Every structure is written in C-alpha cells, then in structure tokens.
C-alpha cells in the first residue's frame, strides 16, 4: 500500500507535497519521494528510504523548486525493499519529464513485464509500477492522454495514480475503484491525495473524490474530465475502512470514523461479551470500534492498553536477546483497569494471531479474570492482490484453523467476530466492496500463484 499526492499551481509545491505525505505516512513507511517541476518545465527528484521526516531535510526541499509536485510514500507489496523501487519514478518522455506515483498493485504486471523484456525493454526496478511507465512510453497512440489511456487499459488490478507530464498532472482510479483518490483546492491551485487527512493538513478544501474509472487532467488550476476508463464491477477495498485509512479521513464517500464506530456497534448487537465489566480497544486502529461497542452495550469504555507511538514499522529489536516480546515494546496494559475484571477487548482484524496472542498474555498477566476478544471484521483468510501487505495463506491463522483452535491458541475465554454480511452492513452499502481477503472472492483474475505475491522479481540493488 502507498500514499500518493499531486500538487498543481501552488508555489513551493514540494513543501505542500511533503506536508501531505506526512499525513499519509501510515500508508507507507518504507520510502518517500517527491518530484518537483519548475516554471521552465525542469523536473527534480528526491527519494530516500525511511519515513518522510527522515527522507527530507529543509535543504532537500529547497532543492525542489516549482509549483508542481508529485509525491509518494511506499509500503511494498510487490518488488523488494530497495531504493530503486522507491517512487515517484521520473523518466524522460517525448512530451517532457514523466513522473509516476502509484497506490495499488497490478495483478498482470509479471506477464506484461515478460512481454516488454522480450521486446527489449530494460527495467531499473522490480516494482510493478515501472511496467506502466514502459507501456506509456511504447504506446503508438498519437497524444499523451491516448498513450496513458492505452497503458491503463492493458494493466489489471488496483491503481490510484498521479502522473506528471511536463507541467500537467493526470490522475486516475482503476474502474473497480480499489483505492481512494481525492482532489482539493488551495487558492488557485489543486491537490490530489490518497486521503482527505492530507488535504486537511495542507489547508485544501475538498473538491471531489475520483470515482472508479475517472481519468482527469489538472492544469492551471482547472480539472478537466477525460473520457472514462472501460467500466468494470466496482470493488472498493473494504479493508481501507476497517483498518488502513485514517479515521479522520473521508474516503469512498464515507467518514472512516463513522464506519468504524458502526462496526463496533455491530459487534455489540450480534456478538456481545456477556458479563464483561469493561471494554477497551487495541489502540489506535480499534478505538472508534470500542467506542461503538460501548455505546450499544452500555459496557464502560476504558483505556486498558497504552501504545508506544515511537515504535516504527521497521523497528529492529536490539534487546531481542533478552527475549522481550515484540508486542511488549508496542503495548503496555493498564493494571488499574484490568485487574480482577472480565474484559472485552476490541481489535479490528485477525491476521497471523501473533500480536493478539501476545496481547492476551499481557492482559492476563495484568490480572484479568476473563478475556473476551471481539474482532470488528471476519478473520483474514487470503492474501490481498490489490496492494495491502497481507502474508501468504500459510501464515494466516484463520486460513488453516477453526475458530475453537484459534480461541485456544490465543488463550481467550471467548472469541467472536463479525460475519461478512455484518461487516458490509456497517458501511450502509452492499454491492460495491472488495472483501477478497475475508471471503476469497477476488474481483480480478489472479495470475500469480500464492506465495509469489511478495518479492516476486529478483531484487535490484542499484541506487537512484
Ligand atoms: P495479529 O494478531 O498478528 O493477527 O495482528 C492483528 C493486528 O495487525 C490487528 O490489530 C491489526 O490492527 C493489524 N493489522 C492488520 N492488517 C495489517 C497490515 N496489513 N499491516 C500491518 N498491521 C496490520
């Protein structure tokens, strides 16, 4: 998964992109990059591994002049963790510098890459996004827009894209609409971003959300609709609402906080933890859900776990030798809330079960009398092929174990979770979701075999 941003017609655009990427940091912590384009059409790129704040210093931003920018934060789902795969890509194109920032995952990238390589294309990275760049460059369509469209109609899977060509920005969302992309206005300029929380941070007022299949051109403060992409059945990623997006964002027309609250209410309606004295969340992703659960059940909401916010995703544990559980570095229980009580613990999702198992042990050690785990989504049983970094089926606990086996493994008194329908009902809309990771119902043909999904190409270690 990734965060993308495009800025057009705003002085010091790289700084706006930087701020926006800051708000999108949760969407990718592996690398960050910005391309800026100045008034003369010269493009400059800086990208680096790590967090946005690590990747950019004041001097780096000063070296990215111009009123146009394209930015990206990366979280790899295809391609390896190396600088060559960091985005945006910047290449020389006949119509000027071409930059691409991609959120999603192309499901037919390997097949297209093989064909391009046979035709003589040279790849600098192992990322699926570079395939798109080659397809654009090789298209025989007579216009830039035609070439981009030609490439988009050949790729399958998930893409919310910001593409810079010279001083023009193009933005598009695949026809199934897997990932969000929104447009806002700042003064006379426009900003395109993965979530509204980025528009808020840069002071942009929301203009519109790009709908599945939308393809737009942004120039001189104007947004122009181009002919839409070939329509397909809409399949927006429900996991964006359950876990991935920030609760202060509005995506797919839904305030994320509102849906999460309703997911918690659904748990209280259909899966109450009878006899629980208190309810608390696994912070922060489940906070709104625990609030919703408390609202409907009347069970008192407490802070039973405190999260250390300084633990990054790439944190390596220097005290592993002391056998300190990783989960202990991230969470600590509040004994005062837990001791002697029957507790309902709300989490958003179950993946490998390892975090939950560690948390349950911790909660028991803090003196809980009973632990009732409630999950605000069905357990994940299959990998995501559309951009979320889920493990292979072998590592997904619910793909291979019954609920009773999982309950015993986690060491909880009761374990319940929302059914697919109960989760979908919380969105208020029925037929437009991709829930493949929960249901196995994949909306596109999947050409890769399971287990090949991550790091499927040989790693490239070149630096940019
Ligand atoms: P586990 O107990 O190991 O199954 O992990 C479940 C926890 O991981 C939940 O609390 C989720 O908030 C979190 N989670 C779910 N999906 C992801 C993901 N794709 N990347 C990182 N964390 C996730």
Q: What is the CATH number of the domain that holds 383?
A: 3.40.50.2020
Does 434 qualify as catalytic in the annotation?
no
User: What distance in Å separates the CA atoms of residue 150 and residue 211, rounded to the nearest whole number?
Assistant: 19
Distance 351 CA to ligand 1 centre (A): 6
Give the chain's residues under pLDDT 70: 77-79, 312-325, 447-464
> 325 in ligand 1 pocket by Cβ < 6 Å?
no
Same domain, 194 and 323: no
Q: Which atom of ligand 1 is nearest to the CA of 357?
A: 2
Residue 96 neighbours by CB under 8 Å, 6+ apart: 41, 43, 165, 166, 167
| pLDDT for position 450 | 39
Residue 288 Cα, ligand 1 centroid: separation in angstroms? Answer: 16
133 within 8 A of 100, measured Cβ to Cβ: yes
| 217 beta partners | 170, 224
Pocket test for ligand 1, best of 1, 245, 351 (most atoms within 8 A of CB): 351
d(CA 348, CA 285): 7
Tell me the C-alpha distance between 124 and 20, whole Å: 27
- Do 179 and 266 fall within a single domain? no
Q: What is 419-452 written as a DSSP string?
A: -HHHHHHTTT--SSEE-HHHH---SS---SPTT-
Same domain, 373 and 260: yes
User: Does residue 449 lie within any of the structural domains?
Assistant: no
Q: Which atom of ligand 1 is nearest to the CA of 355?
A: 2
The answer on 225 and 265 residing in a single domain is no
- 249 lies in a domain? no
Do both 41 and 186 map to the same domain? yes
Taking the C-alpha atoms of residue 263 and residue 260, their distance in angstroms, rounded to an integer, is 5
Residue 245 lies in a domain: no
Q: Are 268 and 381 members of one domain?
A: yes
Give the pair of three-digit tokens for residue 382: 């299959």
Distance (angstroms) between ligand 1 centre and the Cα of 390 equals 9
Comparing C-alpha atoms, which of 7, 8, 4, 11 is closest to residue 66?
11
Which of 246, 353, 355 to mutate for ligand 1's pocket (most ligand atoms within 8 Å of CB)?
A: 355
Domain that holds residue 352: 255-439
* CA 55 centroid distance within chain: 19
Tell me if 338 is assigned to some domain. Answer: yes
On whether both 48 and 142 belong to a single domain, the answer is: yes
d(C-alpha 244, C-alpha 180), whole Å: 11
Residues 212 and 270 in one domain: no
Do 18 and 156 share a domain, yes or no? yes
* Cα–ligand 1 centroid distance for 13 (angstroms): 34
CA distance 124 to 127: 9
Q: Are residues 31 and 89 in the same domain?
A: yes
Asked if the structure places residue 177 within a domain, the reply is: yes
- 212 shares its domain with 82: yes
**Within a domain: 242:** no
Answer whether 0.95 is exceeded by the pTM.
no
For the chain, the domain total comes to 2
User: 192 with 278, same domain?
Assistant: no
- Given 188, 203, 234, the domain boundary residue is 234
Q: Is 116 in a helix, a strand, or coil? A: helix
Q: Which of 179, 202, 234 is the last residue of a domain?
A: 234
């Amino acid at each position: 998964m990734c965060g993308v941003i495009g800025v057009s017609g705003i002085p010091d655009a790289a700084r706006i992109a930087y701020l926006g990427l800051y708000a999108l940091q949760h969407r990718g912590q592996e690398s960050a990059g910005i391309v800026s384009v100045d008034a003369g059409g010269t493009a400059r790129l800086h990208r680096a591994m790590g967090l946005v704040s690590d990747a950019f210093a004041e001097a780096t931003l000063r070296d990215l002049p111009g009123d146009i920018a394209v930015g990206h934060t990366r979280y790899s789902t295809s391609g390896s963790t190396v600088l060559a795969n960091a985005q945006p890509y910047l290449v020389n194109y006949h119509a000027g510098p071409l930059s691409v920032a991609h959120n999603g995952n192309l499901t037919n990238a390997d097949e297209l890459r093989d064909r391009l390589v046979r035709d003589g294309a040279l790849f600098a990275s192992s990322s699926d996004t570079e395939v798109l760049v080659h397809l654009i460059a090789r298209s025989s369509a007579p216009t830039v827009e035609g070439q981009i469209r030609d490439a988009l109609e050949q790729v399958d899977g998930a893409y919310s894209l910001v593409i810079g060509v010279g001083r023009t920005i193009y933005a598009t969302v695949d026809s199934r609409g897997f990932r969000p992309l929104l447009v806002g206005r700042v003064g006379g300029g426009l900003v395109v971003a993965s979530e509204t929380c980025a528009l808020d941070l840069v002071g942009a007022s929301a203009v519109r959300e790009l709908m599945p299949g939308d393809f737009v051109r942004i120039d001189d403060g104007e947004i122009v609709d181009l002919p839409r992409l070939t329509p397909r059945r809409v399949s927006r990623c429900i996991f964006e609402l359950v876990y991935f997006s920030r609760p202060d964002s509005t995506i797919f027309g839904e305030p994320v906080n509102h849906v999460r609250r309703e997911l918690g209410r659904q748990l209280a309606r259909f899966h109450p933890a009878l006899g629980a004295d208190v309810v608390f969340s696994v912070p922060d992703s489940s906070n709104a859900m625990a609030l919703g659960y408390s609202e409907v059940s009347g069970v008192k909401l407490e802070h039973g776990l405190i999260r250390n916010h300084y633990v990054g995703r790439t944190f390596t544990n220097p005290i592993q030798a002391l056998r300190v559980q990783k989960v202990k570095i991230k969470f600590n229980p509040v004994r005062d809330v837990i001791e002697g009580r029957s507790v309902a613990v709300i989490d958003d999702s179950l993946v490998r079960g390892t975090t939950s198992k560690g948390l349950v042990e911790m909660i028991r050690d803090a003196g809980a009398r009973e632990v009732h785990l409630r999950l605000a989504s069905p357990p994940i049983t299959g990998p995501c092929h559309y951009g979320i970094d889920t493990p292979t089926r072998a590592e997904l606990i619910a793909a291979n174990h019954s609920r009773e086996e999982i309950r015993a493994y986690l060491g909880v008194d009761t374990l319940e979770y929302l059914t697919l329908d109960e989760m979908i009902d919380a969105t208020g809309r029925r037929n437009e979701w991709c829930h493949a990771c929960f249901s196995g119902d994949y909306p596109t043909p999947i050409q890769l075999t399971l287990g090949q999904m991550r790091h499927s190409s040989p790693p490239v270690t070149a630096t940019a």
